Chain A
Amino acid sequence: MPFREINSKMVEATLAPGQKLFSQRGAMLAYRGEVSFTPNIQGGQGGVASMIGRRVAGEATPLMTVEGSGTVMFGHGGHHIQVINLSGDTLYVEADRLLAFDGTLQQGTMFMGSQGGVMGMVRGQVTGQGLFTTTLKGHGAVAVMAHGGVIELPITPGRDVHVDPQAYVAHHGDVRNKLSTAVGWRDMVGRGSGEAFQLELSGSGAVYVQASEEKL
């Protein structure tokens, strides 16, 4: 089911019987109809093995399952919300930025090292994202939180996009990313421009960037 944006900081989802969606625990603002909220110890789908995987990876955010029939409004901490519609491709996003997502999407955890090897692991550490990130795959909608407004930048072959790691929100599509460094002698002596590390994204897809350098 799609999310409808009420304003820039609230979304509304319409639930029909038999459908379910996952949301960050405590992010419900209001609802109409018969809707039940069940805390999800497993932190998502995929049974106990996935749960352990997420715990180990530090990508376990408290989620809840929302089921029933009616409409539910979500929002959290006054953060801006961006709705991303997936049509078969994979979205890479940090678990704590996930506000709500369709129950039909497949949730997984990806090891940073699997994309870019050792440099991928370094990237995770430098950007403060840790060694793992959450993936969502399939057809459906995802509501992602960001500080400040979000802009979507398309990535096409031959047109790489560089993003400040702190302003990076999520990306989808067939995109390779690596950490590029522009560390010069100026940074070593404390006269850097503040842009020493950048995420370099290449391939085809889109990246979402927030208008702020603050983490959630």
Chain B
Amino acid sequence: MFRLQGSKTLAVDLTGDAVKAKNGSMVAYDGRMTFKKMSGGGEGLRGMVTRRLTGEQMTVMEVSGQGTCYFADRASEINLVSLHGDTLYVEASNLLATDSGLRTGTTFTGLRGGASGNGLFTTTVEGTGQAAIMSDGAAVLLRVSPQYPLMVDPGAYIAHQGRLQQSFQSGVNFRTLMGEGSGEAFQIRFEGDGLVYVQPSERNTVGGDV
């Protein structure tokens, strides 16, 4: 099924089944393939309206056929995630492809999203199968356990899975207000049991400026 060809190209072997991938991300294929855009990410009318309203829009195409299809996007590094009935939370812009056995949806993230420059909503992927997520630079996978909570820069967060509670913490103090901030004014705090994907690059966020 999903395998990596180098670190920046995803190869998917298809035998008559289908995968969902980001619109326009195919770079090459052999065999016979058809590409069909799925309005609203293939979640039906309700999903489509939700995505429009929440700003977590993603344009997805369904690729089906026989052969090998190669996907890549702007030379981003690609990470494979295997899901066994659990849920992956990922930004719509970082999701490259999902298996046909996976469902996608939208959830509310609270205050975190506002500060990470991602909006207040995020995309969920659940079911059993594989998904490919993109990162700017090779991502590291950090484990969170009940004894060891993890703090992540909102701009470097890309995805998480498992039973995690997230909260938003700020290190704003007197110095920040004086314009002497360290650029690390906000963090996302993860507690519980699960995995967090972090990229070695930061998006532009409100927190990074103060």
A interface, CB within 8 angstroms of B: 80, 147-149, 151, 153, 159-164, 167, 182, 186, 191-195, 207, 209-214
Set of chain A residues within 8 Å of B72, measured between Cβ atoms: 148, 167, 210-213
Cβ contact within 8 Å between A162 and B35: no
Cβ contact within 8 Å between A213 and B70: no
The chain B residue sitting closest to A8, CB to CB, is: B6
The chain B residue sitting closest to A207, CB to CB, is: B28
Interface flag for B141 (CB, 8 Å): no
The chain A residue sitting closest to B39, CB to CB, is: A191
Q: With A and B bound together, what is the CA distance between A95 and B75 in angstroms?
A: 21
- The secondary-structure label for the interface of chain A is loop
Q: With A and B bound together, what is the CA distance between A149 and B29 in angstroms?
A: 17
Set of chain A residues within 8 Å of B49, measured between Cβ atoms: none
The chain B residue sitting closest to A190, CB to CB, is: B37
Interface centre among A153, A162, A213 (most CB of B within 10 A): A162
Set of chain A residues within 8 Å of B6, measured between Cβ atoms: 149, 151, 211
Cβ contact within 8 Å between A211 and B8: yes
Q: With A and B bound together, what is the CA distance between A207 and B26 in angstroms?
A: 15
Q: With A and B bound together, what is the CA distance between A161 and B28 in angstroms?
A: 7
- The secondary-structure label for the interface of chain B is strand
Cβ contact within 8 Å between B27 and A194: no
Contacts known (A209-B70, A212-B73); A193 close to B35, Cβ less than 8 A: yes
Cβ contact within 8 Å between B26 and A164: yes
Interface flag for B180 (CB, 8 Å): no
Cβ contact within 8 Å between A212 and B28: no
Cβ contact within 8 Å between A195 and B24: yes
Set of chain B residues within 8 Å of A194, measured between Cβ atoms: 23-25, 35, 37, 59, 61
Contacts known (A148-B8, A149-B8, A195-B35); A164 close to B28, Cβ less than 8 A: yes
Given contacts A151-B28, A195-B61, 5 further A-B contacts (CB under 8 A): A151-B6, A161-B30, A186-B37, A193-B23, A209-B9
Cβ contact within 8 Å between B8 and A195: no
Set of chain B residues within 8 Å of A167, measured between Cβ atoms: 27-28, 72
